[in-house]
Chain A
Amino acid sequence: MNLPFFPLHEDTSKSWESWIAENASRFLLFARQQTRSEHDAEDVLQEALVESWERGGGRPEAALVFATIRRRAIDLGRRHDRRARREEAAAPENDVWFDSAVHDRETAMLLEEAVRTLPKDLCDVITLKIWGGQTFAELAATLGIPQGTAATRYRTALAQLRKSLTPVLL
């Protein structure tokens, strides 16, 4: 009897590629928010994806990936010297965080600007909740904060966004 032969590396390859195709956008968004430049975000993203995949022995939980991105971004920030920070501060940032199939481009830009100007702790919570698909328990674990704090920050972030988005909402 001839049994079908499925090479392991091909299965792994397909699984990796489909996982990347499905999730790279939301992980990249979070990596961008955790780093100081697009270049750093891409490096952190790649390292975190590979590490999470290896630790999970395959397709990992999204919460593990977000936590790994955050940890690697913190590590990278500590390694940077002042000179690199000055260069990055002077470098133009042309990364776009969002696409919009629902809003017109102007509305989408206003929304993105509103999210970008949130304080970082609020921006992290909003990002993980809305675009990361995380529960409060998951995002609290990722950010190392109590679940109640996560919920409070989420409400605060929505309130701030409501104020800054008044022109769009009216």
Chain B
Amino acid sequence: MNEHDDQSPAFLLLNGLRPAAPSADLMQRLMAARPASQPPQSKSKIISFLPLLARAAVVATLAGTATWYLMADKAAPVTSPANPVAAAAAESGPQQSLQRLLGMRDLGFARDAQQRPVRLMHATWLDDNTYVPSNGAPPVREARVRDEIVPVVLNTY
């Protein structure tokens, strides 16, 4: 439909109306509601979400590495463990540690101290550690599943 062909009598009548002006009270209220000057926020939620995920991944990696080194420090054989993998790990040095993100699950929303919405994500990691026994035996791998709750602050617009 051509947008400039509105010459019907009904249109001409309606076009003679003007939206009623807001009351003085409402105008005063709207004027007072002026937002504080701030730079435009053009970042999308996805973009602002990604660095947080990356940070969470780094934290998880560091935590896994720290756990791995702590385990290595406690590698002194005190008794002979029943689990052969644990026994091998206890007598081995660390070679490699990988953390794989198996999945993320949305748990819901909460509010932080500044009343901003915070999304709580449940991350499931697979920690895959490889040890090299000191006696020259083949490397030993140990894998475990680890759960982590990741708070993600969402920007509001």
Interface residues of A (CB under 8 A from B): 8-9, 12-13, 16-17, 20-21, 24-26, 28-29, 42, 45-46, 49-51, 53-58, 95-103, 107-108, 111-112, 115, 126, 130-131, 135-136, 151, 154-155, 158, 161-162, 165, 168-169
Interface string of B15-37 (1 = CB under 8 A from A): 11111111000110111011101
Interface residues of B (CB under 8 A from A): 1, 3, 8-11, 13-22, 26-27, 29-31, 33-35, 37-42, 157
> Is the pair B19, A131 in contact by a Cβ cutoff of 8 Å?
yes
Q: In the bound complex, what is the Cα–Cα distance between A96 and B3 (angstroms)? A: 28
> Is the pair A20, B30 in contact by a Cβ cutoff of 8 Å?
yes
> Is the pair A103, B13 in contact by a Cβ cutoff of 8 Å?
yes
Q: In the bound complex, what is the Cα–Cα distance between A17 and B39 (angstroms)? A: 19
Say how far A69's CB is from chain B's closest CB, in angstroms.
Answer: 13
**One of B20, B22, B35 near A53 (C-beta < 8 A):** B35
Q: In the bound complex, what is the Cα–Cα distance between A155 and B38 (angstroms)? A: 42
Contacts of B18 in A (CB 8 A): 25, 98-101, 131
Contacts of B157 in A (CB 8 A): 51, 54-55
| Nearest CB in chain B to that of A29: its residue | B19
> Taking A42-B29, A57-B40, A136-B3 as contacts, is the C-beta distance between A100 and B9 under 8 angstroms?
no
**One of A54, A112, A126, A169 near B38 (C-beta < 8 A):** A54
Q: In the bound complex, what is the Cα–Cα distance between A102 and B17 (angstroms)? A: 7
**One of A9, A49, A53, A100 near B16 (C-beta < 8 A):** A100
> Is the pair B19, A99 in contact by a Cβ cutoff of 8 Å?
yes
Say how far B35's CB is from chain A's closest CB, in angstroms.
Answer: 5
Say how far A64's CB is from chain B's closest CB, in angstroms.
Answer: 11
Contacts of A115 in B (CB 8 A): 14
**One of A13, A57, A96, A165 near B10 (C-beta < 8 A):** A165
> Is the pair A169, B20 in contact by a Cβ cutoff of 8 Å?
no
> Taking A42-B26, A55-B41, A55-B157 as contacts, is the C-beta distance between A130 and B34 under 8 angstroms?
no
